[in-house]
Chains A and B, each alone.
Chain A
Amino acid sequence: MYGKGILKGLGVTLKRFTDTYLEDISWWLRGKKRYYTEEGVAHRSSKNTRGIFTVQYPEEQLIQPEEFRYVPFLVYEEGADGKKEPRCTSCGICAKVCPPQCIWIVRTNNPQTGKPVPEPAEFYIDMDICMNCGFCAEYCPFDAIKMDHDFDIASYGRNVYNLEKLLKPASYYAEIRPLNYNREEEARKAKEAAKAAKADAAAPAAS
């Protein structure tokens, strides 16, 4: 019969349409909230999603996986007197590995000796060149630069971030990437313990 195929297709759209409401009713019967809740968003991004698929940003947000990356930021530890102590040692690896070469680092030099001090004097990332590749975070040996989850950074002008704008506390990092953070902390502690053990072993021998 001519037109059967079209009707079949319309059946699919009709089903998709009614699915939304069936799903609404089923959530309502179970006494759960489908919209504006994390559970609802998670369900809408799962294999069982039916009917409406929209996640209403900004009221609701997609659940970001831990590895999600947007732009890089620098991690600092909170010092005793609230001073920001960047983890960065200005070793320059991130600037070397960055594919579009958008990282600019001025290394601090000791004014007396002229020898390099492991801390950046200036640090720039041109966010309008950065290709969000994540290489800087991947290859930084000091876990000092990480990829941010915050994507709401549109602005009315060009974005060249300086050190001040790049720094974010380690606690923030721990919050957005708990698994990575804990793994790195453990690795660091293990390394320190090994170093201490080695020093202990070496100390008696030396004395």
Chain B
Amino acid sequence: MEENKYEGLNLPNYNIPEDIQNVVSITTIDRLYNWGRRWSVWPLMFGLACCAIEMIAAQTARYDMARFGMEVMRPTPRQADMMLVSGTVTKKMLPSIIRLYNQMPEPKYVVAMGACASSGGPFKEGYNVVAGIDKFLPVDVYIPGCPPTPQALIAGMIKLQEKIDKQSIKKVRWYEKGKVDSNYVPMPILGPDLIDVRRNTEIKQAAAAKEGA
């Protein structure tokens, strides 16, 4: 499966007898599985900020993401395959985003669209801004730009499709035994500042080490 680069559904290096070439095609399960998934990535209908407008623009007539099977924007996370984090992630919003992510069924992908979602972007220094959604969610594709133009977004989506192509049904986390919730992210808490509960001890130590001054 090493050369598993996408080359259409058929396995090209297998000789199919000429007379049945147009009725038979040979593929691997991986390929069929990935082919099905890559053309039906349903995004969560979920916009955060300015980037969301370009995401909407990418859905409209001129760019038409339907050509990639990505036009079915699902308002509920239960039916979505991909979370397109389109915009600035604020501390106040973060718990809702994590909750949405946890509700998405596997396989699920996260795409960080724009500078803000990738690292906080121009607002990184702000007191209410999370410096990148990758602090909490596993991001699959980063799309730089502020905002990425719809074409750049589609280019990013093609990157995501390529990533899907490389996955193998034998190794993906959602079929591994005993690891159903491998991607569950504990909910952060809004306290005096954002509390990432996975880092409680670290925070406690750092807060104690700050000394009187």
Q: A63-79 interface mask toward B, CB cutoff 8 Å, 1 = contact, 0 = none?
A: 00000001100000000
Which stretch (A50-58, A115-123, A191-199) binds chain B?
A50-58
**Complex contact A71–B122 (CB within 8 A):** no
**Complex contact A128–B63 (CB within 8 A):** no
A100 contact from B122, B141, B154, B159, Cβ within 8 A: B122
B124 located at the interface, meaning its Cβ lies under 8 Å from any Cβ of chain A in the complex: yes
B141 contact from A53, A127, A156, Cβ within 8 A: A156
**Complex contact A129–B145 (CB within 8 A):** no
B132 located at the interface, meaning its Cβ lies under 8 Å from any Cβ of chain A in the complex: yes
Give the size range of A's interface with the partner: 20 to 34
Known interface pairs A56-B67, A154-B143; A99-B122 also in contact (CB < 8 Å):
yes
**What is the interface of chain A mostly: helix, strand, loop, or mixed?**
loop
Whole-angstrom distance from the CB of B145 to the nearest CB of chain A? Answer: 6
**Complex contact B119–A126 (CB within 8 A):** yes
Nearest A residue to B143, CB-CB:
A154
A82 located at the interface, meaning its Cβ lies under 8 Å from any Cβ of chain B in the complex: no
Within 8 A of A (CB), among B136-159: 140-146, 148-152, 154-156, 158-159
B134 located at the interface, meaning its Cβ lies under 8 Å from any Cβ of chain A in the complex: yes
**Complex contact B122–A154 (CB within 8 A):** no
On chain B, the residues within 8 Å of A131 by CB distance are 115, 121-122, 146
**Complex contact A159–B148 (CB within 8 A):** no
Interchain CA distance A153-B141 in the complex, whole Å = 10
A89 located at the interface, meaning its Cβ lies under 8 Å from any Cβ of chain B in the complex: no
Q: B150-173 interface mask toward A, CB cutoff 8 Å, 1 = contact, 0 = none?
A: 111011101100010000000000
Q: A97-127 interface mask toward B, CB cutoff 8 Å, 1 = contact, 0 = none?
A: 0011000000000000000000000000011
A155 located at the interface, meaning its Cβ lies under 8 Å from any Cβ of chain B in the complex: yes
**Complex contact A100–B145 (CB within 8 A):** no
Known interface pairs A128-B121, A159-B118; A58-B158 also in contact (CB < 8 Å):
yes
Within 8 A of A (CB), among B113-127: 115, 118-125
Nearest B residue to A59, CB-CB:
B67
On chain B, the residues within 8 Å of A151 by CB distance are 145, 148-149, 151-152, 155
Q: B88-128 interface mask toward A, CB cutoff 8 Å, 1 = contact, 0 = none?
A: 00000000000000000000000000010011111111000
Within 8 A of A (CB), among B19-44: none
Q: A128-143 interface mask toward B, CB cutoff 8 Å, 1 = contact, 0 = none?
A: 1111100000000000
**Complex contact A154–B163 (CB within 8 A):** no
Most buried by B among A57, A151, A157, A159: A57
Q: Enumerate chain B interface residues (CB-CB to A < 8 A).
A: 61-64, 67, 115, 118-125, 132, 134, 140-146, 148-152, 154-156, 158-159, 163
CB-defined A-B contacts under 8 Å, sample of 25:
A53-B61, A54-B64, A54-B67, A56-B64, A58-B154, A70-B145, A70-B149, A70-B152, A71-B145, A99-B122, A100-B123, A100-B124, A100-B125, A128-B115, A128-B121, A128-B132, A129-B124, A130-B115, A131-B122, A132-B146, A152-B155, A154-B144, A154-B159, A158-B132, A159-B142
